[in-house]
Structure 1
Amino acid sequence: MSVDLNTDADVVLDVREIDGQPFDPIMTALGELSEAETLLLINSFEPEPLYEVLTERGFEYETEQRDPDHWRVRIEHAR
């Protein structure tokens, strides 16, 4: 079943165009995310290494693959 990750995203970060590693911009966006906000991360690959970091920092996430090079991750503070 596909999850629609477009809904209710307060902040959208498309890292497909970033020259270099997207980790720092992602961490900056997460650091600025309020408890009530949701971040939609758009990436060209599944960001599996990020999942452990998200969990350790108290975030929950849902991932959806739209195309082979289009992944969306909806991230919010764990409740």
Structure 2
Amino acid sequence: MSAPRQLRQLDVRPLIAEGGEPFPKIMAAIQALQPGDTLALITPFMPSPLIEKLQGEGFEARPERRHDGAWETRFRRGDA
């Protein structure tokens, strides 16, 4: 029996609002994903360059506009 898939959430809006750089925190969360896990990344804008980068590394990406105007992009490690 395989391990249950996990959905992790990371909201970087507060960090961006403070002028911080979210990329290291995002990449740490991405690297912590196990095969089949998903990261729901919440950002104030669509993270197009990040989507392209991670798709090139084998991740699936599904961006969606949220009702509050933010973007939620679900990144799934595709090697499960």
Scaled by the length of structure 1, what TM-score is found?
Answer: 0.79
The letter of the residue matching 2:72 is R
Please state how far the C-alpha of 1:69 moved relative to its aligned partner. 3.8
* Residues 1:15 and 2:27 aligned together: no
3-state SS in 1 of match to 2:65: strand
Greater helix proportion: 2
- The 1-side partners of 2:11 and 2:68 are apart by 16
Please state how far the C-alpha of 1:77 moved relative to its aligned partner. 1.2
3-state SS in 1 of match to 2:50: helix
Distance change in 2, residues 1:9/1:43 (3 Å): farther
Distance change in 2, residues 1:9/1:67 (3 Å): farther
Higher alpha-carbon Rg:
2
3-state SS in 2 of match to 1:74: strand
3-state SS in 2 of match to 1:60: strand
Aligned counterpart, 2:25: 25
Aligned counterpart, 2:74: 74
Please state how far the C-alpha of 1:53 moved relative to its aligned partner. 1.1
8 Å CA contact retained: 2:36, 2:78: no
3-state SS in 1 of match to 2:26: helix
**Structure 1 moving runs of 4+ over 2 Å:** none
Percent identity of paired positions between Structure 1 and Structure 2: 39
- The 1-side partners of 2:73 and 2:6 are apart by 10
- The 1-side partners of 2:56 and 2:74 are apart by 16
3-state SS in 2 of match to 1:63: strand
8 Å CA contact retained: 1:59, 1:78: yes
